[in-house]
Each structure stands twice: as C-alpha cells, then as structure tokens.
Amino acid sequence: MILPIFLYNNVLRGITPTWSGTTVTDSEPANSTDWRDFSLFEADTGTLDFEMSADTDIDSVSVFVSTYSGGGSESIVLQYESSPATFTTLKTIDPCGGKLTFGQFSSVTVLSGRKIRFVITAGTELLIRQLVVGEAMVAETGQFASMQYPTLLGGLKLTNSISANGSILGRDVKRVERMGSLNLDLLTPSWVRSTWEPFAYHAARYPFIYVPNFAAYPNEVAFSVAESIDAPSNMGKGARMAVQWKLRHVVADEYGV
C-alpha cells in the first residue's frame, strides 16, 4: 500500500504579497497563489513576503515554474521569520531541475505578524505558475501498487495518412492527456469527516498538488484537478469507508506544460 500526499490548503492564498523586484503588468506576484495553471508571476531577482494574520503551522512547499531550463543560477529559497527581522531557511529549490517540485521540512509555526518569504534568484527571469505552502494532508490508508503514476506517459494517439497503394505518407502524433484515479479504502468515518471532506470541498473548485508516493519517488508530483468526485461509501467492514475520484493531471516533463 502507498500513502499519497496532498497539498491543498495554501496559507499564502488571499494574502497580498510584498515583492521587492520589478512587477510586470498582468504578471503580478498575486498570480503565484491563485490556483490557476495559466496565469504567471514573472519574477526577476528579489524577495516575496507574505505576512501571516494568525499563528500558522507549515511543513510542506510546492513550486510550479513554467521555465524549464536556465543558466544554472536560478534558485528559490523558502524562509520564515523565526524572530523579528530574522529569517530561517526551510527549503532550497532548483526551479530548473524540475518545473513542478514538492518538498517537506520539519514543521514550524509562523507567528501572527511574521512573514513567510521566498528569496528568488533569476538568471534572466522565472515564470512562476504556483507557490504553495502549508501542512500536507497524508492519506489515512494507502493505494494499491497497481495505481497509476501521473508522471508516466499518458499514451499517444497515432493518425496515419496512407496513399492509394497503402504507403504511409505521414503520421500525426497526439499525446493523450494524463488521467488517473484515486482509490482509498478502509478509511475511518472520523477521518473522512474531519480531514477528507475539507479537501473534497477544495477540489470541487480548485486544483491541488498530488504526490502519489513520496517515499519511493519524491519527484513524482502532479498539479491535479478532480474530474469527478464520488461520495464516500460504506465498505461494510468494521464501519470503514472508501472514496474514489477520477483525476486529470498537469505534469512538468520534457514536452513542456
């Protein structure tokens, strides 16, 4: 069984950030937390600060960068204000090593009035689609080994053009969108109500970060949306429950996003 991880409760969302670099029209810093996969924050070198309005626990970060390759000088460093005007590094991310990344760190509490900061170093510019910071949700039970990994090739549809004598004149190759399913069994009703349902309400409106098997494949990360959300069902085994969803995935790879 494999325990999947979901990062959806973005503590940065709804906070107007303070950006020390240059702001490009229609590519403002707020675009980086809007849960859209088409809007961009065009960042040069600078710091991006989010001030917390309440004590906030965090243990995970995800960065979705549109730019695939760079000069090797790009970096994004996640910090928090551990004491007034003192920032402690939590995670350093190479945005060109993988366009969509997920990382965990020892849980910390960002006190009310203190900041979560991204220190951005850009050789030229970085096109940032999404920054997510929060507490990751780990499923109560796992998925079977037969589950589909979102980063594997989603399949190809081939259309051949054939001449009158049967010779192949050309071939059109269309990549099929990556899709998959999420199946969790033997869940306790209390976990479904307290943990799963808030996630389901989010997924009904917004995407989320899906990490199917962080222990074995830490780079297997997807920006996912729910195609359909089925209601939890009773399994009839000691008052256990099951959930099943259909998913669509946006995954960073050599084909681009």
**pLDDT of 6-65, one tens digit each?**
999 999 999 999 999 999 999 999 999 999 888 999 999 999 999 999 999 999 999 998
Torsion angle (degrees, nearest 10) of CA 34, 112, 58, 197: -60
pTM over 0.95: no
Q: Report the number of secondary-structure helices (H) and strands (E) in the chain.
A: 2, 18
Identify whether residues 80 and 127 lie together within a single domain.
yes
* Cβ burial 207-222 (10 Å sphere, 16+ → b, else e): bbbbbbbbeeeeebbb
Host domain of residue 24: 9-135
**Domain check: are 119 and 190 in the same one?**
no
Q: Check whether residue 173 and residue 71 sit in a common domain.
A: no
Co-location of 115 and 43 in the same domain: yes
Pairing of strands 46-51, 115-121: antiparallel
Residue 131 sits in the same domain as residue 164: no
Question: Are residue 113 and residue 215 in the same domain, yes or no?
Answer: no
Tally the C-alpha atoms within 13 A of residue 115's C-alpha that lie toward its C-beta: 19
The model's pLDDT over 110-119, given as tens digits with 9 standing for 90+, comes to 999 999 999 9
48 and 130 co-located in one domain: yes
